[in-house]
Chains A and B, each alone.
Chain A
Amino acid sequence: MISRPYAVAKRTLGMADKLLDVNWGLVLLISIIATAGIAMLYSVAGGHWNPWALSQFSKFVLGFFIMIAAASIDVRVWMSLAYPAYGLALLLLVAVDVAGHVGLGAQRWIMLGPLELQPSELMKISLVLALARFLHGKSVEEVSKPLNLGIALVMIGVPALFVVIEPNLGTTLIIVMDGVSLLFLAGLSWYWIIPAVSAIVTAIPLAWRFVLHDYQKARVMTFLNPEADALGAGWNITQAKIAIGSGGLSGKGFLQGTQSRLNFLPEKQTDFIWTSLCEEFGFVGAIAMLVLFAAVIFYGVQIAMSARSQFARLLSMGVTLNFFFYIMINGLMVMGLIPVVGIPMPLLSYGGTAMLTVMFGFGLLLSVHVHRQVEIPRHSGGII
């Protein structure tokens, strides 16, 4: 299975060519969304750049350069780096867990210089890279072979396990959904899918009994009946719904959101930023934001379809789906359709690691776009 690196590109691209070929429409969309996010952070701070908006802006600028840099790097290089990246992310993940267990309390991040790094965030992108790399070498039939499927599931399962014991249910969900979607896209047989789905459905009651933490169960119970405990654990959901609903058609106006300004909204700068947006810009603004998100996803799918290697296709679909899962889980959560799990809204919520990894993901997506003509044989492993 060891493949020597060798290039099959018909032509090599210069730096200028690559920059010109970047999908600037997508970059513009991303920038618009991120700007809206910074504006919302400015608003929930009561019309101040501190403590969130300015910091988020600098993270975005940094992320922007990472994105462009990632876009200009040959997709085959990324392919070569897939496994090392996965290994490194897994190592960091284990490190946080160990640190947590030796007495520092539940911890989700490590300090990397001035940067708070959440290995679980890195893991999502690394897993997409590594799975795309692994599945690149498998034909449709091979994907469904027990050995290959087993390897893929271990690749998904091991990091998922380390994240779930952090504990971080939301990120675990995304990691599993990212991995399973890639298996599905790589052509996993329905003979696997149908029994698996049935098994999961029967497993849910067991998971409730043996796996979920009490606070996670409480979140689910609160979700099912938030009014029963409107001032306790149900407070978040109730206040979030009030914030969204009170925005009405056109919203209360920028800086006029009473729910966030008067601190009725919990976590208003992170997981619940969407509610502030809905409150201040109303149905019109929220739908516009959904359209922007959908457009980004549309670009992602289009890039995936036009790529000429299975690695590039799976990578770009993986990145796009990862982005989508964030939106889906956060959106459903803050609007009271699923229980509260700690997942930020991508590009909008305050948070360095999420911003940087999402931007890096877009960088990979753009790299696929720039290098869409690159064909990679099934048994190739990259170019390093």
Chain B
Amino acid sequence: MPLFDKKDKSRYATFSRRSLAVGGGMALVFAVLGGRLYQLQIRDGDEYMTEAEDNRINERLLAPPRGRIFDRFGVELANNRRNYRVLLVAEQATDGVEEALDTIGEVIQLSDVQKKRVITELAQNKKFVPVPVAENLTWEEFSRINMHLPYLPGVQPDVGETRDYPYGPEMVHVLGYVASVSEQELAHDDDPLMSLPGMRIGKRGIEKEFDKQLRGRAGASRVEVNAYGRVIRELGKDPGVPGQDVWISLDGELQRFVDQRLGGESAACVVMDAANGDVLALSSTPGFDPNWFNVGVTGPQWRELATSDYKPLLNKAIAGTYPPGSTFKTAMALAAVDNGMDDLVVDCTGSIRLGDHTFYCDAWRIGGHGHVNLTRGIQVSCDICFYEVARRLGIDKMAEAAHALGLGSPTGIELPGELGGLIPTRAWKMARFGVPWQQGETLVSGIGQGYVLATPLQLCTLAARLATGKAVSPRLTHQVGAALQSYPLAAPLPFSDKAFAMVRQGMGMAVNAPGGTAYGSRILQPGFEMAGKTGTAQVRRITREERQSGLTPQSELPWAQREHALFIAFAPLDNPRYAVSIVLEHGGNAHTEPQVQFARDILTFAQKRDTLGKPTAYPIKEAALSAGGAVR
């Protein structure tokens, strides 16, 4: 058998032929690979380059410092203080997280609850994410951490910023507070800052009203990250725009005095510049510490706030509505003078019958006030006199006058949640209850009872308008960032000078003339005298039986059934500069009139301090302001 034959040759030929074919196939595949490279790298290269950059570069938001809030003298009411805190990075804690927490616990105070929270948070985050262990440390604690740092692997001391309210509860109802963003707020605000961890936004008061301006614009840091989100390095930084500062018209010292004077009572008080409506103090007690909400309010704290009868969460000055009681008589008297009743004289016997209903006056026990004209009606607060006034005016004219004096609709103060109170009319009652108006309701309205409701802020506005004769409206902000807030000039009110003069005289007598309802708590210091009108708002109906068997003294009733005590006033008597209103919830006491004492002390303090006379520390000169047309 030959070693090689034709068959060898033929299969060599086949092999060569087919090898060439295979080679051709391989060349084709290489062409496909090359073509694909062209497609990805040359044709679509730019697109993929962008995607690679998107992968690599992350924008990290930087929170700008929140704008501060100042009072009229430039005193900081809300600022940002350094927040010394300790962070823990899980992956750097070489001895384990729990060991690290125990070691930290030896250096600063650390509760088991805190430790548990940190361990949970660490478990939820990636291993390189720093988790706060303790915040708001004192400088001393912070230094101790720094000193022990070599023995604390994974621990990072850090200085952040946190909102601080030096006045604490005294300002809370004006300033509001900041707290974490809720999910609902997140959904309705597309500001990128909202999703920043630890972001705080304004929840009430000025903090909420001017949140957008106070917040500022988010800065950003461009960082390179890897596939797991770990920051490799910073590529660039945009510091953002700090929040704008806000100057408000409040006088911090006066506010503090008012708040402390009201003490633990459930009360509200507003003090205003009678000439231009600058709110100098706006207090609702009790308050609460706004710093709690910033840090995170605890369960027991919240329960106490939410369930207390004194309603500390409610800003009673703007959102508490009360029957104005006899303070409303001032408005009625004003309307009466201009409706031909300037020489009205009523004979008060202590009660009056209308149909089968008897209406009583406070003086019914002693047989009435006798002959009463309008000024004396205000001085002694004669109900019978104002039943007559109301009967003659009719409810619609009464409502007209009340509206002109700032009642019945929100004043428009720059605070969220203001209520408008209520001034009833025939049309209102028909729409609301589907029942026609009764004349008895007109009489009751004439002494500020029944459906009539007003906020303390509206009552202060009423006092200021009575004092000046102009449509003064309350205003709270002076300047936001660089923008001066402008307000329209206060127009004269549609009442005659004679009417104002008579009402002021009546209010002066009520405080300063013997027999006046507030005589016992008048200001004795010459030149500082006030004029005012007391009021009482019943929270329950007094039955005929009670009247006959003798009224239970207010002080013996359960707290929640006592009358609200009200007072509006202005001072000094001639050329009034300060207007004030006070509502003392369930604080009725006809003998001591505590609410008048509060007003006396507050107006004395304000006049002695001369809040309006002092040069203000507003960032713009007063002269420039008045030249700009705003009312000063």
Q: List the interface of chain A (C-beta within 8 A of B).
A: 8, 139-141, 181, 184-187, 239, 241-249, 258-259, 261-264, 278, 282-283, 286-287, 290, 293-294, 297, 301, 304-305, 310, 313-314, 317, 321, 324, 327-328, 331-332, 335-337, 375, 377-379
B491 at the interface (CB under 8 A from A): no
Interface of B is mostly: helix
Q: Is the CB–CB distance between A244 and B40 below 8 Å?
A: yes
* Closest residue of A by beta carbon distance from B226: A262
Beyond the given pairs A185-B15, A290-B34, 12 more chain A to chain B contacts, judged by CB atoms under 8 angstroms and listed by A's residue number, are A139-B11, A186-B11, A187-B18, A241-B48, A246-B45, A247-B41, A283-B45, A301-B22, A304-B19, A310-B8, A332-B29, A336-B36
* Closest residue of A by beta carbon distance from B2: A377
Stretch at the interface among B49-57, B146-154, B197-205, B433-441: B49-57
Q: Is the CB–CB distance between B227 and A244 below 8 Å?
A: no
What distance in Å separates the Cβ of A343 from its nearest Cβ neighbour in chain B?
Answer: 14
Q: When chains A and B are docked, how far (Å) is the Cα of A378 from the Cα of B10?
A: 13
What distance in Å separates the Cβ of A310 from its nearest Cβ neighbour in chain B?
Answer: 6
A241 proximity list for chain B (CB < 8 A)? 40, 48
Q: Is the CB–CB distance between A278 and B41 below 8 Å?
A: yes
Q: List the interface of chain B (C-beta within 8 A of A).
A: 1, 3-5, 7-8, 10-12, 14-16, 18-19, 22-23, 26-27, 29-30, 32-34, 36-38, 40-42, 44-49, 51-53, 55-56, 224-228, 232
* Closest residue of A by beta carbon distance from B1: A379
Q: When chains A and B are docked, how far (Å) is the Cα of A262 from the Cα of B49?
A: 15
* Closest residue of A by beta carbon distance from B228: A263
* Closest residue of B by beta carbon distance from A238: B51
What number of residue pairs across chains A and B have CB atoms under 8 A from each other?
152
Contact of A246 among B18, B19, B52 (CB under 8 A): B52
With A278-B41, A310-B15 as given contacts, are A264 and B51 in contact (CB-CB < 8 Å)? no
A-B contacts, 16 of them at CB < 8 A, read A139-B11, A186-B15, A187-B15, A239-B55, A244-B48, A248-B41, A259-B52, A262-B225, A262-B227, A278-B37, A321-B26, A324-B29, A328-B26, A328-B33, A331-B33, A332-B33
A336 proximity list for chain B (CB < 8 A)? 36
Q: Is the CB–CB distance between B37 and A313 below 8 Å?
A: no
Q: When chains A and B are docked, how far (Å) is the Cα of A141 from the Cα of B1?
A: 18
Q: When chains A and B are docked, how far (Å) is the Cα of A266 from the Cα of B19?
A: 37
A293 proximity list for chain B (CB < 8 A)? 30
Q: Is the CB–CB distance between A335 and B37 below 8 Å?
A: yes
With A249-B45, A258-B52, A297-B26 as given contacts, are A139 and B34 in contact (CB-CB < 8 Å)? no
Q: Is the CB–CB distance between A263 and B42 below 8 Å?
A: no
Q: When chains A and B are docked, how far (Å) is the Cα of A181 from the Cα of B45?
A: 36
Q: Is the CB–CB distance between A259 and B18 below 8 Å?
A: no
Q: When chains A and B are docked, how far (Å) is the Cα of A310 from the Cα of B44?
A: 47
Q: When chains A and B are docked, how far (Å) is the Cα of A295 from the Cα of B289?
A: 80
Q: Is the CB–CB distance between A246 and B15 below 8 Å?
A: no
Q: Is the CB–CB distance between B227 and A264 below 8 Å?
A: yes
Q: Is the CB–CB distance between A140 and B10 below 8 Å?
A: yes
Contact of A245 among B1, B30, B47 (CB under 8 A): B47
With A8-B3, A263-B227, A282-B41 as given contacts, are A317 and B19 in contact (CB-CB < 8 Å)? yes
Q: Is the CB–CB distance between B226 and A305 below 8 Å?
A: no
Q: When chains A and B are docked, how far (Å) is the Cα of A9 from the Cα of B177?
A: 100
A139 proximity list for chain B (CB < 8 A)? 7-8, 10-11
Contact of B51 among A187, A242, A286 (CB under 8 A): A242
What distance in Å separates the Cβ of A5 from its nearest Cβ neighbour in chain B?
Answer: 15
What distance in Å separates the Cβ of A45 from its nearest Cβ neighbour in chain B?
Answer: 14
Q: Is the CB–CB distance between A321 and B22 below 8 Å?
A: yes
Q: When chains A and B are docked, how far (Å) is the Cα of A328 from the Cα of B46?
A: 26
With A262-B227, A264-B55, A283-B42 as given contacts, are A290 and B33 in contact (CB-CB < 8 Å)? yes
Q: Is the CB–CB distance between B12 and A184 below 8 Å?
A: no
Q: Is the CB–CB distance between A310 and B12 below 8 Å?
A: yes
Q: When chains A and B are docked, how far (Å) is the Cα of A362 from the Cα of B508?
A: 116
Q: Is the CB–CB distance between B11 and A283 below 8 Å?
A: no
Q: Is the CB–CB distance between A328 and B29 below 8 Å?
A: yes
B8 proximity list for chain A (CB < 8 A)? 139, 310, 378
B27 proximity list for chain A (CB < 8 A)? 294
B15 proximity list for chain A (CB < 8 A)? 185-187, 310, 313-314, 317
| 5 closest A-B pairs by CB | A245-B48, A246-B52, A262-B226, A139-B7, A248-B45
Contact of B19 among A283, A286, A301, A324 (CB under 8 A): A301
Q: Is the CB–CB distance between A286 and B26 below 8 Å?
A: no
With A8-B3, A248-B41, A262-B227 as given contacts, are A185 and B26 in contact (CB-CB < 8 Å)? no
* Closest residue of A by beta carbon distance from B26: A324
What distance in Å separates the Cβ of B512 from its nearest Cβ neighbour in chain A?
Answer: 80
Q: Is the CB–CB distance between A248 and B49 below 8 Å?
A: yes
B40 proximity list for chain A (CB < 8 A)? 241, 244-245, 278, 335
Contact of B7 among A140, A247, A249, A259 (CB under 8 A): A140
